[in-house]
Amino acid sequence: MGSLSRCSHAPHAVRGRRLVVLTAILVTSAAASSSPEAPGSSPPLADAEREAFLLEGKIVGDRSIPEGITLPRRVTLRQDDFEHDALVQTHDEHETRKHLEGGVELDFRDSWRNNVAAYRLDRLLGLGFVPVTVVRSYRQEPAGWSWWVDDVLMAEKDRYERGIDPPAPLGWVLQVFVVRVFDQLIYNFDRSLENLLIDQDWRAWMIDHTRSFKVFGELRDEKELPGRCERHLLAAMRRLDRPTLARTMEGLLSGRQIDGLLERRDKIVRFYDHLIATRGEPAVLYELPLRVRSADDPRDQPSPR
């Protein structure tokens, strides 16, 4: 499987050229990816606990992130004796047509709302690949607050350019397959190698989804769908319905965006149903260990090795 570690998740798998603001900081300061916690403190691990911390934590530090044009902030929060950082984004832009260097982009979106929507969709699908993200005001503006990813080892860009093989090549490739399916589902316009992070357990983390959730029903690039799909992801996509999405995405996605997402879901499901019919289920579906943690499910399962 050695060749998979270089080719199956090369730029063909996760493309993009725009440097993602937060990644430069995350990767260069992996040891400081979270603020030091006081002796004896217990970090919040379940999603609900992290959401509560992001919503209620007291701001004890606030600094700019120098790169980029949307001016995100790195904010340190404290609750009791625990401290952790959050990435805060307030940029919220939508244009029907936007002239960019590469041409005209239709339904241009660059919004903090999409980061929250990506997190909520990730959890509806049972993935756990997107950091916890909540809606909380920042200086009287609505904003998305994302949990600063812990223990970042590197970005996929660094791993690929330095020729670093994962300790379990197949396990890494199967995680990247999840990323590729998710990006087609949300019509991600900006998945670069910089915004796929790798933590010290070699788990993939998808960050920066501000340029996603267009209204289009077609896939951005069907050729980016891998030949295999995670079994529980496919089942969860089948279960998605408009009432659930409308409730979960209230204030984040419009009705047209939800309709586009469901149309893309239908295309993805048909794609894999066809593969299963022609190749057989064992050749198409696979399973990854559970990653989403909740208060009533404290299992801690690392990525496949």
In a domain, 305, yes or no: no
- Residue with token string 């609900």: 48
Which structural domain, as residue segments, surrounds residue 167?
A: 4-286
* Contact indicator for 219, 268 with CB cutoff of 8 Å: yes
Residue 151 corresponds to which tokens in the numbers above?
Answer: 């223990």
Asked if 55 contacts 136 with a C-beta cutoff of 8 angstroms, the reply is yes
Cβ(91)–Cβ(70) below 8 Å? yes
pLDDT of residue 40: 40
Residue 302 falls within a domain, yes or no?
A: no
Count Cβ atoms below 10 Å from residue 182 Cβ, excluding itself.
24
- Domain assignment present for residue 35? The answer is yes
Q: Which H or E element spans position 140?
A: none
What are the residue ranges of helices labelled H in the chain? 4-7, 21-28, 47-56, 112-124, 156-161, 169-186, 231-239, 242-248, 255-279, 281-284
Give the CA distances from residue 87 to residues 47, 71, 265, 272, 305, in Å, rounded to whole numbers and listed in that order: 16, 11, 29, 35, 30
Which residue shows structure tokens 């979960």?
248
Entry pTM = 0.83
Per-residue pLDDT, 178: 98
The single residue listed with the structure tokens 């200086």 is 139
Per-residue pLDDT of the chain (305 residues; tens, 9 = 90+): 333 333 334 434 444 433 333 333 333 333 333 433 433 456 668 999 999 999 999 999 999 987 667 789 999 999 999 999 999 999 999 888 787 777 878 877 889 999 999 999 999 999 999 999 999 999 999 999 999 998 999 999 999 999 999 999 999 999 999 999 999 999 998 888 889 999 999 999 999 999 999 999 999 999 999 999 999 999 999 999 999 999 999 999 999 999 999 999 999 999 999 999 999 999 999 999 988 754 443 344 444 43
Does residue 20 belong to any structural domain of this protein? yes
Structural domain includes residue 296: no
CA–CA separation, 245 and 228 (whole Å): 25
Q: Is residue 291 assigned to a domain? A: no
Structure tokens at 106: 């239709």
As a whole number of angstroms, the distance between CA 112 and CA 73 comes to: 12
Cβ-contact 153, 202 below 8 angstroms? yes
Residue 298 in any domain: the answer is no
Helix/strand/coil for 31: helix
- Count the domains in the chain: 1
Within 8 A by CB and 6+ apart from 95, the residues are 108
